[in-house]
Chains A and B, each alone.
Chain A
Amino acid sequence: MSTVIKVNDLGKKYILNHQKQERYIALRDVIAQSVKKWGARITNPLAGRDEIDLTREEFWALKDISFEIKQGERVGIIGRNGAGKSTLLKVLSRITEPTTGRIALRGRVASLLEVGTGFHPELTGRENIYLNGAILGMTRSEINKKFDEIVEFAEVEKFLDTPVKRYSSGMYVRLAFAVAAHLEPEILIVDEVLAVGDAQFQKKCLGKMKDVGKEGRTVLFVSHNLTAIRTLCTRAILLRQGMIIADETAAQAVSKYMGDIRVNMLFREWTDENTAPQNTSTVLKKVFICDDNGKQIEELYTDTAFNVAIEFKVKEEGASAGLTLLFYDDENNIVFSSINNHEVNWYGRPMPVGVYKSFCKIPSNLFNNGWFSLSINLFGKGFTDSQMTHDTLRFEILDGLHVRGDYYGEYAGVIRPLLEWNTTSLKTKELL
């Protein structure tokens, strides 16, 4: 088998701008900043020219990545949020340029980082098939040839001439995936698109992707769905902090990844305010799991009630700080989220500068046993200025034996609430 993808010493560097939280730069800010800099130089000409700009930080999203992929291989890319998976796909699909290294690709590449890129709500299903096909790199004659197949796969025959803005979200996704699934590239790059659509359609998509591989095409697939990776891929690459940790069979890499995510992390503290997670007005100091007295807990059971404690500092006088907690299971499905907007003391009120501590009480008998992670979203007034921090804590919920009663098997599901059951007798034998 010939090599179709060859990656050598690939690296991608981003410059992080700590000071600015705006989504984009405005020219006026740039001008204002340069004026400020000049002013400082004039008033204080002796200050070192080579002072380090603290607001700018280099960040390597990918570093020293090298691998080869042969024709017909189906390769999964796994890793935690922020490990560099999406950046790698973006570089491979030429959306963004690498900072170092070299990639050689042989064959036509199609990348599917999102379903329905370029879909226009005003256009009909038929028109969008052509438009989206062209955006994904198909020629008109190819689309003509595949048109009926696409329509059949998407199950939208009746609505072909309806603007897609009137489609249900299911139909929309089906149509979008159908176009992409009928691309015939030699190399297909897919990012997490299977997370959409109903279960039956997901199955259909997985089947389609398997077929694509069988036809001798090469597939690169990023997903948090480890089952999909295991069944679909022949090989998997595990990334951690932008570097390759493992590159082996899918089963081996997945189990290594499981080891990676299965480490208890019940306490986090950020001592350096500059690098701590923050938005413009608030910075996180500590996040940990504790009991009602604020004492840290080392082991969690399904029947333990516990608190997530968050210590944060308000840097701006009168800022309003909001918190959202998001809990994920170890396949990165979100279990539930909670926003502190019911908090009675401070929520929505201007907060003086200082350090605050929030408790979020998690009742007992909520989680099933298993591994979970916590992401925290900081936000400001009116749910703006939000800053998400993934993987702040990781914890295992152990089986709390005494709620089980006489059952010793597995409980299905991600939560295991202890619900009230009640049976009464309606008629007894004597009355019949």
Chain B
Amino acid sequence: MKELSEYEIVIEPGRGIDQYWRDLWHYRELFYFLAWRDILVRYKQTVIGIAWSIIRPFLTMIVFTIVFGKLAKLESGGTPYPILVFVAMLPWQFFANALSESSNSLVGNANMLSKVYFPRFILPASSIIIGLVDFLISFVILLLLMIWYQFIPDWKVLTLPLFLLLALMAALGFGLWMAALNVKYRDFRYIVPFIVQFGLYISPVGFSSGIVPGEWRFLYSINPMVGVIDGFRWALLGGEVQFYWPGFLLSIALTLLIFAFGIWYFRKTERTFADVI
């Protein structure tokens, strides 16, 4: 006869934050397996597999370089325009992918939601990993570009993970919120692609945020991706980029707020997912 483990569960209406985080830890391997599944499936179903995560940002970079750099002749502050664009392309693509994947993660796994228990947080969280993989692959392209232009970053490149973390928090916070809303109101599956498309133009991807007039710069930083992209440029492109502190602090504060709100809203609605999906 087996000994009973002391693991005890109490189910009550509206219960259990402490139990929830304990479960999250218990199910950490599910997190890993779901991310692994997404990656496997992605590369099994596509013909050229991994190349997708290279071609997309690369083509966008070329187009932006031509449109903003050559046709509009925007100021790049001395950096080669392709690098200026690509350095911003990286966090932007990551944010856009992570946001789309996480906001679809619940509806895309509806069957799991209604048949098995696990902390629902795992689904949107694990769906972000594939965005991270794409990010790393594109990063290799950036390195090649930098070698091509003989551009050497200094020590500041070590701060890069911090800015990536900021992008991740913004994407996850927003993604959790969208995912939860998507369960109840399916309209949100049209809203997210719109946000992503729109965001590309209101974030400083194709141009340097230095060209935004000074009096508008603080307001412009309400978009949390402004802080992230500026941070990436600062970390990778070195001294030629001026760092705009007030805007950056605003971006950080807003990102933290979005992240906290996302988790709060997700936790609040999570218990009804299986009933409404």
Residues of B within 8 A of A130 (CB): 33
A123-136 vs B, CB cutoff 8 Å, 1 = contact: the mask equals: 10001001100111
Contact call B274/A95, Cβ cutoff below 8 A: yes
A 143-173 binary contact with B (CB < 8 Å = 1; else 0) = 0000000000000000000010000000000
Q: Which residues of A contact B184 (CB under 8 A)?
A: 24-25
Interface string of B10-30 (1 = CB under 8 A from A): 111110000000000001011
Tell me whether A95 and B271 are in contact (CB under 8 A). no
Q: Does B45 contact A (CB under 8 A)?
A: yes
Count: A-B pairs, CB below 8 Å: 134
Judge whether A94 and B117 touch: CB under 8 Å: yes
Closest B residue to A26 by CB, please name it. B187
A137 contacts the other chain (CB 8 A): yes
Residues from chain A with Cβ under 8 Å of B150 in the complex: none
Instruction: Please tell me the size bucket of the interface on B.
Output: 35 or more
Binds A, one of B88-96, B107-115, B154-162, B167-175: B107-115
Residue of B nearest to A135 (CB): B116
Instruction: Give Cα distance in the complex from A105 to B19, angstroms.
Output: 13
**Smallest Cβ-Cβ distance to A8: which chain B residue:** B12
How far apart are B97's CB and chain A's nearest CB, in angstroms?
20
The answer for the CA separation of A127 and B39 in the assembled complex, in Å, is: 12
Among A97, A101, A106, A130, the one with the most B-chain Cβ atoms within 10 Å of its Cβ is A97
Binary per-residue interface labels of chain A (215-235) against chain B in the complex, 1 for a CB within 8 Å, 0 otherwise: 111000000000000000000
Residues of A within 8 A of B27 (CB): 137
- Are the C-beta atoms of A97 and B118 separated by less than 8 Å? no
Q: Is the CB of B1 within 8 A of A216?
A: yes
Q: Does A264 contact B (CB under 8 A)?
A: no
Determine how close the nearest CB of chain A comes to the CB of B45; give it in whole angstroms: 6
A39 at the interface (CB under 8 A from B): no
Find chain B residues with CB under 8 A from A104 CB.
8-11
CA distance A32 to B9 in the complex (A): 42
Give me 5 A-to-B residue pairs in the complex whose CB atoms sit less than 8 angstroms apart, sorted by A's number: A107-B4, A111-B117, A122-B40, A122-B44, A134-B33
> Of A71, A108, A122, A217, which one neighbours B41 at CB under 8 angstroms?
A122
| Residue among B11, B34, B185 making CB contact with A25, cutoff 8 Å | B185
Compute how far the CA of A163 lies from the CA of B44 in the bound complex, rounded to whole angstroms. Answer: 10
Residues of B contacting A93 with CB < 8 Å?
A: 116-117
Partner of B8, one of A92, A106, A111, A137: A106
Closest 6 CB pairs of A and B: A134-B33, A94-B117, A103-B11, A27-B185, A216-B1, A27-B187
Contact indicator per residue, chain B 113-151, by CB within 8 Å of chain A (1) or not (0): 111111000000000000000000000000000000000
Contacts of A117 in B (CB 8 A): 111-112, 115-116
